[in-house]
Structure formats: structure tokens, C-alpha cells
Structure 1
Amino acid sequence: MATRYTEESIRVLKGLEPVRQRPGMYTRTENPLHIVQEVIDNAADEALAGYGKHIQVTLHGDGSITVDDDGRGIPVGLHPEEGAPVVELVFTRLHAGGKFDKQSGGAYAFSGGLHGVGVSVTNALSSRLEVTVWRDGGVHTLAFAGGEMVQPLAPVANAPRRKSGTRVRCWPDPKYFDSAVLPVPELVRLLRSKAVLLPGVKVTFRNEKAGNAPQEWLYADGLRGYLSEALVGTELLVPLVDGEQYAGKDHDSFSEGEGAQWVVSWATDGTVVRESYVNLIPTPAGGTHEAGLRDGLFNAMKTFIELHNLMPKGIKLLPEDVFARASFVLSAKVLDPQFQGQIKERLNSRDAVRLVSGFVKTAMDLWLNSHVDHGKKLAELVIRQAQARVRTAQKVEKRKSSGVAVLPGKLTDCETDDVSRTEVFLVEGDSAGGSAKMGRDKEFQAVLPLRGKVLNAWEVDRDRLFANNEIHDISVAIGVDPHGPADTPDLSGLRYGRICILSDADVDGSHIQVLLLTLFYRHFPKLIEAGNVFVARPPLFRVDVPAQGKRPARKLYCLDEGELEATEDRLRKDGVRDGTWSISRFKGLGEMSPEQLWETTMNPDTRRLLPVHLGEAGADGTTKVFEMLMGKGEAAQRRAWLEEKGDLADVDI
């Protein structure tokens, strides 16, 4: 029986219902740590703003968690536009909070992000949540169950005049998580890091389940004391190098207060400790602020080595040579941080590279030239790393077969043979290929332009593949022969560690992506298993923002319409007058200048690169989908699939 698709088929999710329907879009669902972290982050943001000196976290015997802070307390008055208590809105509305106010004098100049879901997700995924607010000499409480209000805001008592703060107690709902057990070691690490990043703020953790004495952290020395403690027993090559710098009112490129604090050390062996944070949020997957630290250290070290003429002939220094044996703790302050996903594991803000790099290089230059003996010791370590890297690359070269096929004429190859660094971009069209060739880093990036659409290789026999010139060129360029999932191909000839599919951000570009993914899944499956295949994500829009006061004009890039809308909202909040910015839509990669293509799509520090791997359905499920989409005799299945899923398609007509 045919299904009906009418106006009544469209369902609009309201309030916190989207979170309960798809919790994985808003938080980690392995355990409730992240929803607890949202509450802790709010308490830490109060301390970061200069309010509050004590954060207390209690894990109760019934599995609930309480977070207490002595900040200002969430406002309890009515919102001027919504007509509801502000504290109620914070816990029941997505995209509501004090961190959107970026005007001068706003509640939070620097905070852990602007996704605007925060503690509303905590409420949505808790079976019960209770809030107590001490503010303006009074005490107010309210409570929720399953995200819905069960006890409206009400005053309960008078508080001591100077007491202020917020207490949140939540009972995570087990049905939304793989495990309802909170990972205590991870929680302890998180709380300790807050103390590290907030010198002078005491953080206390009490575990009623374990019955242990409360744990307390208070770091007067901040990052330096923390890294020293983490590296106990490791023999350091040079003393710890630390620095801190923030933009002033008159800075040309960045807002007042933006900058970073860091401490770095080097050792010839032992464990390497690396931790980074943005506005107190841990970023375990790194991001553009770490790229800025690496860039600043590299440029300072390179300048010092050249100044003292220490580099042996034939050796070229690379950033990883400086960074390989470095331990660091980095804490960046970014006015409007853009994270990869709601769980904020990686910073994506492109300006953070320049922000951190500029400040770190200046400080490191000064340190090296003030401590020349230590600088030369460090230079020796860095040069040894570079020499070891070159020797490793030469060994790999000797193992290669002498009967290498002639590389395709249209392949613009890179200079290095180090497969851990090399990458090839399979680019749609000669014009885009030209921009990619000019914009790339020729040291490690190669470009192979493809003409037209690649052959649908799903039902092509392996011995007939090379009849197609494009497929022949791809195979020869990457150095791996076609194979099946049960084969054990020789991957020692692989010439590029990353094979990146780069096509336009439109329907035709998506089609080319699918054709290339079909080729790799069907005839080069071991490359996907090994994590060698990626999809580059070029932006669809460019937003030109005019100069604001002393802040120069800037260009912002957006992947899609959703990101464009979010960017426009952010500009309005930043005080940019509506309509003063202009929006350009890229019709294709060929329209981008080499500089734009490098900045948005090819620069490892600022690009968006998606790794290709098998989904939850595994190999069998993936094969069925490819069979239905790409098989010549599956038109009926495709039609049924389109009728069922057609409303999900974003068609660019």
C-alpha cells in the first residue's frame, strides 16, 4: 500500500522534544558526563567572568549530581520579550542563554561557546532536575521532570545579603545513554582542569558513593604548576617556557581580551603531555588554536636556527620536527569560538591560528634570544628530529619497487615522499584543478584534475577498469592496484597518506563524490579500512563583513545555508548593522582564487576534511545501499527509496 505524503505528514518538534528524539545530535550518549559538564561549564564561566571562587560537585548515592557555585546566580526576573522567568527559559529553551550577548558590558564576554543548547540539553535528558538560585537577598527554587516544569519558580526564603550563586541537581535518565554510570576518573580530570585554568578558584569533588574524603584542587601557579606536576620524573631538556598575551583595545585584528596563555616543555624521551582549552572548554581533538601554537613555535625556532646558522646542509625544517617532543598546556580566549559539533572537542575558528601564532612567536623569539644556550640545546633536538625524519623517508624509498608505472601527465605531484604527510586532491574540472595547483602547499600536496564524471564502477570487472582513463590515472597516481574486500593488496606502494575528494558544493559535485566513493568502496576497500580516503568540504557562501571601528574588514566562509544563517545571527549580536555585509555564493571551485581555496579547503589548519569510514550498518549494510543506488538493474528499488526519502533531499535547482 502506497504511503501518503501530505501537509499532515510534516511534524514540527517543539521545545526540548528534538533533544529527546535525537539525543546524539546534541551530546555524547555513551554516558551522562557531557550533560553534567554543561552545568559545570556554566559555573566555570561565572568564575572566568570574575565572579565566584568556589565550585563544588557532588555525586550522590542515587546517581544524581549536584553542582554548586558562588557566582551571581541566574536571573529570576521576567524576560522583557518572552514574559517568562529567565531561569526557566535557560533550562527549557534551546538557543537561550547569557552567552549570546557579546555587546560591551555583556554578561559573558568570553564563554565556552555559542551553540545555545547547553543546560537545556541537561534538562531534556534528565528524569528530574532541580534548581536553587541565591540572588538579590532571596532564595528561589524550581524543578523539572523529563524536561517539563513540575514546580514553578517560587521564592522560599531570605538569603544572607551577600550570598549569591546557583545550585543545579540532576538525575540523568538512563534510557538516553548506553551506560547510566558516570565515569568518575574523567569527571575528576575535568574538574582538575577547571582549577588549573582558573588560578585562585577552588574546585571540590565529593563522591558519596565511594565514601571517600572530598577532593580539592587549587592551583596558585596555574598552567605552569599543572604541567610541572604532570611531568614529574621526566628529565626536561630546557626549563618550562610559559607566556601569556591578550589583545588590547587598540589591536588591529582582534577584540580586546582575545589571546592565549601557554606553557611548553621539551624532553628527549618520556611521556608527552598535551592539553588544550578554549574559554575553559577542553578540546581533546585540538583544533586551530593548537595549530597556532605549533606555527608560532616553529617560526620562532626556525628564525633562531637561521640567525645562528645552525642548520646542516640538505635538511629542511618542518613544524612536526619542533613539535614532536613538545609537551604543552594551552588555554586560549576567543570571543566567538566556533567548535566542531555540539560536544566541542575541536576548535574550528580560523582566526585562532593567527591569534595564537602571532602572540606565541613574539614571546618565543624573546625567550630564545634571552636564553641562547637553552635555545641552542633545543635547536640540536629539533635538528636531530629532522634528520631522523629524512632517514626514515629514504628507507621507505629504497623498499619501493623499481618497476613503477609512469605517473599520469596531468598529475601535479608533491615534493616529499613521506606518506605520513602526503595528500592528493582528486579535483573536479581543469579550472578548479588550476586553482588547487596554485593554492596548494607543493611540499606535501598533489593535485589530480578529473575531466567530467567518473565512470560508475559498481558493476565493472576489475580487469576492465583500466580501460577508463580517469580510473587508470587515479590507480597509478595513488600507487595501489584495484582489489576486493577479501584480498590482501600490497599497500607498500601507496604514495599518499590522504586521498581527498574535492568537488563543488552543489548537486553535480555530490554526484561526483558518490561516483568516486563507489570506486573506492568497490575496488579499493582496504584504503577506506585504513582511513586513507577523505572528502573535502568547500564552502558554498562567502560573507564580506565591513570594518567595525578598529576591527578591519573580514571574510567569513559558510558550508551551507544553515551555517550562513547562524553567521548572520552572530554578526547581528556582534553589533554589525543588518544589511551592511554582502553574501556571495560560489557556483563552483573554479570561481575561487587560489588563496581562497587554500584558506577554506586545503590548509590543514583551517579546512574541513571528513574521513570516510563504514557506518553503523557495517560492510553488509553499506553494500546493500550501494547496490540499490548504483546497480543497473535496481531502478525499481531506487524509485521506492526516492518516494520514501525524497523529502530529505536538498535539491539545488
Structure 2
Amino acid sequence: MTAEYSAHHLQVLEGLEAVRKRPGMYIGSNGSPGLMHCLWEIIDNSVDEAVAGTGTRIDIVLHDDGSVEVRDRGRGVPVDVEPRTGLTGVEVVYTKLHAGGKFGGGSYAASGGLHGVGASVVNALSERLDVEVDRGGKTYAMSFHRGEPGVFADSGEPRPDAPFSPFEQKSELRVIGKAPKGVTGTRVRYWADRQIFTKDAAFQLEELETRARQTAFLVPGLELVIRDEREKTDGDAEAKDAEAKETSFRYDGGISEFVDYLAMDAPITDTWRVQGSGSFTETVPVLQPDGHMASTEVERECRVDIAMRWGTGYDTVTRSFVNIIATPKGGTHQQGFEQELLKVLRAQVEQNARRLKVGKDKLEKDDVLAGLTAVLTVEVPEPQFEGQTKEVLGTPAVRTVVVKVLRQALGERFSSTKRDDKSQASMLLDKVVSEMKARISARAHKETQRRKNALESSTLPAKLVDCRTKDVEQSELFIVEGDSALGTAKDARNSEFQALLPIRGKILNVQRASISDMLSNVECASIIQVIGAGSGRTFDLSAARYGKIILMSDADVDGAHIRTLLLTLFFRYMRPLIEDGRVFAAVPPLHRVIVVNPGSKPNETIYTYSEQELHALLTKLRKQNKRWHEPVQRYKGLGEMDAEQLATTTMDRSGRLLRRVRMQDAEAAGRVFELLMGNEVAPRREFIIDSSDRLTRESIDA
């Protein structure tokens, strides 16, 4: 740094230099998310063509050399000369910022591309980018090196490190072949520039498949095919093709099918579809024939399409989109949707106040959104987004259009005289009112659910054997199977920080039961009361009375079933405990081997936790010529251990083994619980049959 600061210290970055200098401004980051954002930009251009009515298939290929290729059958990038720049359409699109056909020129009614920087940004951040266009019976091609057009001297497969010669006088759009009559389309292949992106940045196949599936739902009839050719073994081309993973996505049901896919819980209502449109005016700069921009008042039409359904759960799953572009942080369209949903349901509850017994209480947004799965899409020309990443819609007038469309559709639904409509409307009102009452009750009893002190009276279940410490982080709650195990556990525990709660048999399967059934179940209610943090949407992790929740069941099939039922309860109604890593499964031993030592040396006791571990131990003892007491004790349940054995193996912190219950993907976990514990029997039967080869006769404790 110098004290002097004058005009010659200023820098003016021309064209794509600005993108390479500050990539985060355009793609968010230079890691894997930024790399994926570049790919979305290219894919979205192809999707815009499909939305415009040309092309029903998009191919995405992840090549084994680190490049990615996107192919479509759209209209193809224009190849004629743009009059103002004197450059071909291909060069304009891929080298000029804020240039393209999506600024209101009539080429697209509604598109995801708005700023004219997507393709040119990807080009600027690529070590090499190749474009091929089929148009007018010819195939045109152009290549770029870090945004600069030129020619690569390739021999065989294209490589980013091949010798490159930039155009010196005038760039050239080469004709490399003939295209079949009537066939149009664009093929883009690029190699991300490792000078820009971090070493660990990589294309995420799972994320790509999720985005492709989402797009296929949003554009009915469009097929997206993903082919992953990475990490292939050496061999001929046929072998590599055989190993390549290819996945195809196509859905004709639109966003109604999307909602059915997203919904995890049992339905209370059918999937309601709301469609409509509205118009508004806004003043925008419009390019005049003389090349100047003039503020002009234009009329816009906004189309709204919503699919939604309520289920028995309390989780909210909403997806909002503008012109097929996901808006994960919402915006004016989502604000209008939630605002009108609350307003309409409040009015309906007030009209049915006597039947619902609500008094003067009012619904809040969380009550209405509990158990809702919704997909909201709007199509609007030239929407205003907050930033290039397009995560938030900013066009104010869209809120009003969504409100009007939703108000009319819900009004017709709630005033319908059809039996199904009346039944579903009634069940929905019961659902939102029960959520409201649960919220009010939780708020009223929040203070009474705190850990009792010496001056307070306890309202906790009599069967709880509590600990003495008030330090939540140190305290542990063991949920024990049966009274017999409780007796042993009382003597085995450290009463300073270990509490015990016995449960009788198998608790209710809450995945298949309603909230009221769950709360009326004695065992479920006791667990929720003892933990003291509420349940469902009102769960407050900071109010939990114990730092660890440890499920201690027998090491047999019934014990595994009980543990699964308990985990279902925690997943559905106390999920923050799992997300915070505070739920554990105790691992009691299966066998006790008493090794006989010679002479006066005391015998040694060894515990094993699986059949394989036992056989390995006995083989080792045979090799050492050591004897053991026969028969080896096989524990069928916790009640077979004495207090010392239970403490040593399962409860004492110095020697026990715990399995922490983790959940990395809530959506995937929800699908597993619904498959294994839900109402649908057929998928569970198929899963059991398909998985039967993993099970051995010896692993069944019968």
C-alpha cells in the first residue's frame, strides 16, 4: 500500500476479465457449488428451449476426462451475424456479457435466463469450451480457451491442453458437416478451469440427478438423460460403454406427481391443483430501434400453477419455482402463497368455530403449514431476482397475482357441495386446529417441563428413576425394555447422572398412527414427558432434560423391533435430538466367555458382541491352548445379567459401547421410515423379498 491514490491506480476490467477476477459474484463460489452452478446455466438454456416448445430430450454426459457435455434438440444458437457487433450469434452468446435472446425480444415468453451472462460466464471460467450447432442443414462449430475464440490443434479426442491458436483478424464459425433436414439443436462441452476452481471441486452426480428429476416434474413430457462415464476401468470402448451409468427422468403428471413424490406422510387431503393467471403493468427500459433504452410501461401476464396436499405429519415441504428456476429462499410468490393460505384458513376456522371449539384463539402460519407438501410455480416474463444466483424472486406484483388465484380456488374448494371436498375440508380444519391447540398447550406448559428442583413438586411418571445432577450435558436417560431389566439396571447405574425409564413391551408404531393416538399412548406420552422438550413442531431442544438418550433393549429380534419403534417415535416427533447427535443405542454383549487360567491366577471374563467375534475369539484361544467354561453363555436379554455385568458391559462409561444414531439426509431417512414402518404393505413386502439374500439362518433369534 502507498499513501498516493490517483486515477492511474484504477483498473478497468474488460469483458470476461471481470468474471475471472471475481467469479463468486456470478456463480457464488469456486468450489463444487460454483461448478454445479455453471452446469445449471448450460442445462437451463436447453430447458428454456423445451419450455418454448422445441425439443423433448436433453442429454447430460459426465466424461471421464473431467469435462461435461449438454446436448439438446432446441432451435440452436443463432449462427447469423449480429448487426451491431458484427459477430456471429454463437460468439455473441458465449463471449459477451449481458447479451442474449431473453431481454424481451419475443424469442421466449418466459425463461429462466434473464441476465444474458450464463453461457458467457461458463465460457470465461472454462479452460476449453466447444459449441456445435445444428441449424439450416449444416453443423457449425466454435471453440474457446478461457473465453477467447480460436482453434485447438487436436489429434483424436479433444483435450483442453491441446495447442491453441486464437483468431487474430476475424473470428470464424466453422462448418464441420451437414445436419439432417429439419434437425436443429446445440451441443456444449466444456472443461472447467482449474486455475479458478478448487482442487476438490467436482460434479455431484446425486445433486445433478435431483435437479434433473425436479426439472422433469416441472416440464411434463421432457426427458433428461444423465450418463456418467467417470471412473472407468481400462479397456476397449465397448467395455467402457457397458460400465457407464445412465439414468433417465421423464414425468407426464407435472407438479401433482412432484407433490406425491415429495410427500412422506399419509394423506389427509388429495393433491389439490390450483391454476390461474393474472396481469399487471410495470415500467421497464426497452431497447429502441435507434439503439437507445427508453422507459416504457408494459403489460405482463403471470401464470400460476400450484399443487398441494396435507398429510398426517407436521413437517412442511415446499418447493417454489419461477420459470423452472428453483427459488429455495422464496420471494414474493411464496410470500403471497403463505399469506393467502393463512388468511383463507383463518376465515374457515372462524366460520366453524363452534364445531371446532377454538374460542378466541387464532391460527398462525406454522399451524397452517404443518404437514403441508406444496409445489408452487409461476411463469412471468423478465422476473426480477435478487442476484445472479436467482434464489429469491423480487417482482412485487407477483404476490398479488398468486393471492388472487389462490383465494378464488380455495374459496371454490371450501364452498363445494361434493362429498369428497366437504370431507377433506373438514379433516383439514381439524388438522390445523389440533396443531394450534398443541402449540398453545406447549407454550403454556413450557416452564413446567423444566427440570424440577428441590422446592418443586414432580409431575413426572412414577416409574421414572431419575438422577441427581442438574447438569444436562452430563445426564443420561436410559430407556429400558421391561421391569426385569429395570431392577438390574437400578443397581448397575451411576445414580449421579444416569436416569432410567422402563417401557412395557412394544410401543405404538407412530408412523401409522395419528398425533392424538400417539399422545394418548401411555408409553409414548411418558417418554415425551420425561424428556421434557415437547413434541413435533413445538419441540424445543434447549428444554431437553438429558444430554444423552440411550435405548437399551435386548440383543434379540424383539429388542431390535422395540429399538426401531422408539427410533420411529424420535424421528417423527423429536427429530432435533437425532440431528444434534443425542440419541444412542446401547450395545449389550451377546456372549460371555470365561477363560480358565492355570494355577491360582483368576479366570478371565471376555464379552463378545457378534457370532463372528465369538468364533474368532474361540479360534484364538484354541491356538493358545487355552480352555474356557462350557457352554459359552448366550445372553437372551438384559435381565440375564447381574448388576456388575450390566454395568461393566453396557452402562459404565469407561467400558461400554454406544452406537450414535445419525441422520445425514432427512428426506432419505423419511423414505426409509415410511417404507419400513408405514401403512403401505406391498413396498415393504418387496423390500423384504429383495433383501432376503442378506439374511442368514443363524442371525434369526427364534
TM-score, normalised relative to structure 2? 0.54
Aligned to 2:399: 353
In structure 1, C-alpha distance between the alignment counterparts of 2:338 and 2:302, rounded to whole Å: 18
Partner of 1:241: 272
* Aligned pairs (5 A) from 1:242-641: 242-247=273-278, 255=299, 257-269=301-313, 272-309=316-353, 310=356, 312-370=358-416, 371-395=421-445
Q: Could you say if the C-alpha distance between residues 277 and 206 of structure 1 is closer, same or farther in structure 2, counting changes exceeding 3 Å?
A: same
User: 1:339 Cα deviation (Å)?
Assistant: 1.7
Which letter maps to 1:185? E
**Contact in 2 for aligned 1:273/1:328 (Cα 8 Å):** yes
Greater shift, 78-87 or 31-40, is seen at 78-87
The structure number with the bigger radius of gyration is 2
Identity %: 36
Matched, 1:194 2:215: yes
CA distance in 2, matches of 1:256, 1:88: 31
1:84 corresponds in structure 2 to 87
Given that 1:113 and 1:339 are in contact with CA atoms closer than 8 Å, whether structure 2 keeps it comes out as no
| Alignment correspondent of 2:16 | 16
SS in 2 for 1:258: strand
Equivalent-residue separation in structure 2 for 1:50 and 1:257 (angstroms): 18
SS of aligned partner of 1:239: coil
Give the aligned residue type for 2:150.
Answer: V
| Cα deviation, residue 197, structure 1 | 0.6
Judge conservation of contact 1:277–1:332 (CA < 8 Å) in 2: yes
**1:351 Cα deviation from its structure 2 partner:** 1.9
Deviation at 1:306, TM superposition (A): 2.9
Looking at structure 1, the residues matched to 95 and 193 of structure 2 have their Cα atoms a distance apart, in angstroms, of 16
Change (3 A) 1:19 1:250: closer
- Aligned equivalent of 1:175: 195
- For residue 155 of structure 1, report the CA deviation from its aligned partner: 1.4
| 1:489-540: CA deviation from partner (whole Å, max 9, x where unpaired) | xx99xxxxxxxxxxxxxxxxxxxxxxxxxxxxxxxxxxxxxxxxxxxxxxxx
What SS does the corresponding residue of 2:86 show, helix, strand or coil?
coil
2:300–2:380: 8 Å Cα contact kept in structure 1? no
Structure-1 separation of matches of 2:93 and 2:350: 55
- Quick one: distance in 2 between partners of 1:175 and 1:2? 29
Q: CA deviation at 1:324?
A: 2.4
Q: Does 1:57 align with 2:103?
A: no
1:148 aligns with 2:148: yes
Contact 1:65 1:169 in 2 (8 A): yes
* Aligned AA (1:46): E
1:120 and 2:120 correspond:
yes
Amino acid at match of 2:31: E
Aligned-partner residue type, residue 173 of structure 1: D
Describe the shift of the 1:2–1:214 C-alpha distance in structure 2 as closer, same or farther (beyond 3 A): closer
Report the CA distance between 1:273 and its aligned residue. Answer: 2.8
Contact 1:369 / 1:375 at 8 angstroms: preserved in 2? Answer: no
Q: Which residue of 1 aligns with 2:262?
A: 230
In structure 1, C-alpha distance between the alignment counterparts of 2:229 and 2:197, rounded to whole Å: 22
Alignment partner of 1:96: what SS?
Answer: coil
Matched-pair contact (CA < 8 Å) for 2:48–2:112: yes
Cα distance, 1:255 vs structure 2: 4.8
* Contact 1:137 1:162 survives alignment (8 Å): yes
Check the 8 A contact 2:314/2:370 in 1, yes or no: no
How far residue 389 of structure 1 moved from its aligned partner, in angstroms, is: 2.3
Structure 2 equivalent of residue 220 of structure 1? 252
| Cα-Cα RMSD | 2.5
Q: CA deviation at 1:248?
A: 6.8
2:110 partner SS: coil
Quote the offset at 1:226 in angstroms.
2.0
Answer yes or no: is 1:164 the counterpart of 2:201.
no
| Matching residue of 2:489 | none
Summarize deviations over 1:558-612 as a string: whole Å, max 9, x none: xxxxxxxxxxxxxxxxxxxxxxxxxxxxxxxxxxxxxxxxxxxxxxxxxxxxxxx
| Aligned match of 2:27 | 27
Selected match of 1:66 from 64, 69, 89 = 69
AA in 2 matched with 1:361:
R
Is contact 1:368-1:374 (8 Å) kept? no
Counterpart code for 2:394: N
Unaligned 5+ segments in structure 1 are 401-490, 493-653
Distance 1:132 1:247 in 2: 39
* Aligned residues of 1:247 and 1:255 also touching (Cα < 8 A): no
Tell me the secondary structure at the aligned position of residue 359 of structure 2.
coil
Amino acid at match of 1:235: A
In structure 2, relative to structure 1, the CA distance for the partners of 1:311 and 1:24 (3 Å cut) is farther
How many residue pairs get matched?
397
- The code of the aligned residue for 1:197 comes to L
SS of the residue 1:187 aligns to = helix
Q: Summarize deviations over 1:389-437 as a string: whole Å, max 9, x none.
A: 223333457899xxxxxxxxxxxxxxxxxxxxxxxxxxxxxxxxxxxxx
**Secondary structure in structure 2 of the residue aligned to 1:176:** coil
**2: CA distance between counterparts of 1:200 and 1:180?**
33
- State the Cα deviation string for residues 214-265 of structure 1 (Å, max 9, x = none): 2111111011112212336x211111111221237999x9955412211111
Deviations 1:318-352 (Å, cap 9, x if unpaired)?
22221122111111112222222211122222222
Change (3 A) 1:357 1:254: farther
Give the alignment partner of residue 96 of structure 2, picking from 93, 99, 103.
93
2:195 match: secondary structure: helix
Given candidates 40, 44, 64, the residue that maps to 2:43 is: 40
Q: Which residue of 2 aligns with 1:139?
A: 139
1:378 Cα shift? 0.4
Amino acid at match of 1:266: W
Q: What is the CA-CA distance between 1:270 and the residue it aligns to?
A: 6.7
Q: By how many angstroms is 1:213 displaced?
A: 3.8
Q: 1:319 to 1:255 in 2, by over 3 A?
A: farther
Residues 112 and 200 (structure 1), Cα distance of their counterparts in 2 relative to 1, 3 Å cut: same
Judged with a 3 Å threshold, the aligned counterparts in structure 2 of structure 1 residues 85 and 228 are, in CA distance, closer, same or farther, namely: same
Deviation at 1:313, TM superposition (A): 0.9
User: Structure 2 CA distance, aligned partners of 1:228 and 1:277?
Assistant: 17
Q: Which secondary structure does the structure 1 equivalent of 2:312 belong to?
A: coil
The answer on whether the counterparts of 2:70 and 2:189 sit within 8 Å (CA) in structure 1 is yes
The answer (yes or no) to whether the contact 1:113–1:337 under 8 Å persists in 2 is no
Q: Using a 3 Å threshold, how does the CA distance of structure 1 residues 255 and 237 change in structure 2: closer, same or farther?
A: farther
Q: Which amino acid aligns with 1:139?
A: T
Task: Tell me, in whole angstroms, the C-alpha distance in 2 between the residues paired with 1:222 and 1:38.
Answer: 22
Return closer, same or farther for 1:196/1:51 CA change in 2, 3 Å cut-off. Answer: same
Residue aligned with 1:301, SS: helix
Separation (CA, whole Å) in 1 of partners of 2:120 and 2:2: 39
The offset of 1:113, in angstroms, is 4.3
Deviations 1:160-200 (A, max 9, x none): 12100111111111232233311111111111111111101
The aligned counterpart of 1:204 is 225
Distance in 1 between residues matched to 2:324 and 2:208, nearest whole Å: 15
Residue 48 to residue 63, structure 1, CA distance change in 2 (3 Å): same
CA contact under 8 A between 2:135 and 2:183: conserved in structure 1? yes
Partners of 2:74 and 2:280 in 1: how far apart?
Answer: 27
Q: C-alpha distance in 2, partners of 1:127/1:327?
A: 42
Q: Quick one: which amino acid aligns to residue 161 of structure 1?
A: K
Check 1:360–1:293 CA distance in 2 against 1; reply closer, same or farther (3 A cut): same
* Matched position secondary structure for 2:82: coil
1:60-103 C-alpha deviation (Å, 9 max, x unpaired): 10111111111100101111211111110111111111111x25
